[in-house]
Structure 1
Amino acid sequence: MDKTGAGLLTLSLIVVLAGLMLLGWRGRLRRQQSLAPLPEFPAEAGQPLEAYPGQYVVTTSAGDWLDRVGVHGLGIRGNALLRVYPHGLLFERSGAPDLYIPQPQVKAVRTESGMIGKFVEKDGLAVVTWQLGDRDVDTAFRTRNAADKAPLLAQLTSLVPTSSQDEE
């Protein structure tokens, strides 16, 4: 086989693989169409408690760091500014719609070393488990500055309902 034949074979293999990836992504979006719409950011939001620059990593099904949520742009990684409000979280994302998580929907906060497509140092990601419609999801965020991680985690943890609130 000459160089031209090998080049054409390689190019056609790349095109086939890209087409299969596109079909897989479209199938994921089709399966997730029934997922509830994203919560609306309140018009009278007030001032944020704090803002943290960093990277929105991904939203996955809760507990399954390989099951990316593709609808509503939640599967798109990019730079973001995370604003923490008493009433919830606002991820102002570059190149994707903003994501607002109301405080009553926040269920848990933890750290992870990685989620689909992004692996960092031990406990480098702040992960918020929250309820989107009837489905629990995990959203990961990485602060740009390592010094911001501890204050962010403290503020995120303060949004998690306590067990006494759950019993009421």
Structure 2
Amino acid sequence: MTPLIAIAAEAAEQKSAEVTDWAGRLGWIAGLLLFVVLVYWLMRQGWKWRGSLQSDLPELPTRPSPTTTLNGGGKPPQPGMPQAPGEAKLTLSGRYHGSTTAGQWLDRIVAHGLGTRSRVELTLTDAGIEVVRPGANDFFVPAAALREARLDKGIAGKVLAEGGLLIVTWEHGGEQLDSGFRSDRAAEHTAWVEAINSMIKTTEGIAR
């Protein structure tokens, strides 16, 4: 009988050890989940804090209506006043990867939804660039606010191959911003850079 008792005791110890292992695993998983929740909460707080620091940034420009070309009673628009969109010169479907302070690719702008990555539809007209973002804030970049367009590889923590991003530099609220876009057909980027920079030169010539 003694060997049977010894075998039974050994089996009981193994079963107890298995239960103990499961408890340890569950505790480790719970701890990991708590850590993930904490990191997520800290990220959200950092996002809100950055947004509060950028609260002085004005509301984003919106797409002007066709009547914007009239300044009360059919008068022509004043200099600097946004004009109606007009005919599309170029269109682009792709992704919006965020905006930063111009020249500082890691200084993300989050105010007014500019920090939200999303799908995007861009339309370039004589009046500027219409930015339509499903599920995020749309905005409009007037031609007079455009400063530069170039190809780059990174913005706001997003790094791609060289020339993988279309970066548009524009002025808003006295600040210059870089906004990054990536077309579903990256070969389109060059045409956008050329068209935007040509528009800027034309606008500057008229202003002089």
Same fold, TM-score > 0.5, yes or no:
yes
1:8 paired residue number: 30
2:192 paired residue number: 152
1:80 paired residue number: 120
**8 Å contact 1:125–1:142 — kept in the other structure?**
yes
The amino acid across from 1:38 in the alignment is L
Q: Are residues 1:48 and 2:88 paired?
A: yes
The amino acid across from 1:21 in the alignment is M
**8 Å contact 1:59–1:139 — kept in the other structure?**
yes
**8 Å contact 1:66–1:116 — kept in the other structure?**
yes
**8 Å contact 1:130–1:137 — kept in the other structure?**
yes
1-side partners of 2:188 and 2:169: how far apart? 20
* 1:162 shift after superposition: 5.9
* 1:145 shift after superposition: 0.8
1-side partners of 2:161 and 2:47: how far apart? 28
Q: Are residues 1:99 and 2:121 paired?
A: no
**8 Å contact 1:104–1:161 — kept in the other structure?**
no
> Percent of aligned pairs with the same residue?
31
2:170 paired residue number: 130
* 1:151 shift after superposition: 1.7
The amino acid across from 1:34 in the alignment is D
1:107-118 counterparts in 2 under 5 A?
107-118=147-158
1:29 paired residue number: 51
Q: Which runs of 4+ in 1 moved over 3 A?
A: 161-164
Unaligned 5+ segments in structure 1 are none
Greater relative contact order (Cα 8 A, min sep 6): structure 1 or 2?
1
The amino acid across from 1:27 in the alignment is W
TM-score, scaled to structure 1: 0.92
TM-score, scaled to structure 2: 0.75
**8 Å contact 1:56–1:91 — kept in the other structure?**
no
Quick check: which has more Rg, 1 or 2?
2
* 1:116 shift after superposition: 1.8
Unaligned 5+ segments in structure 2 are 1-22, 67-84
**8 Å contact 2:95–2:183 — kept in the other structure?**
yes
**8 Å contact 1:130–1:136 — kept in the other structure?**
yes
2-side partners of 1:85 and 1:10: how far apart? 51
The number of residue pairs the alignment matches comes to 168
Please list the CA deviations of residues 147-168 of structure 1 after superposition, one character each: whole Å capped at 9, or x if unmatched: 3222222212222236963882
More helix by share: 2
2-side partners of 1:154 and 1:33: how far apart? 33
2-side partners of 1:154 and 1:120: how far apart? 21
* 1:46 shift after superposition: 2.4
2:4 paired residue number: none
2-side partners of 1:28 and 1:98: how far apart? 21
Q: Are residues 1:69 and 2:109 paired?
A: yes
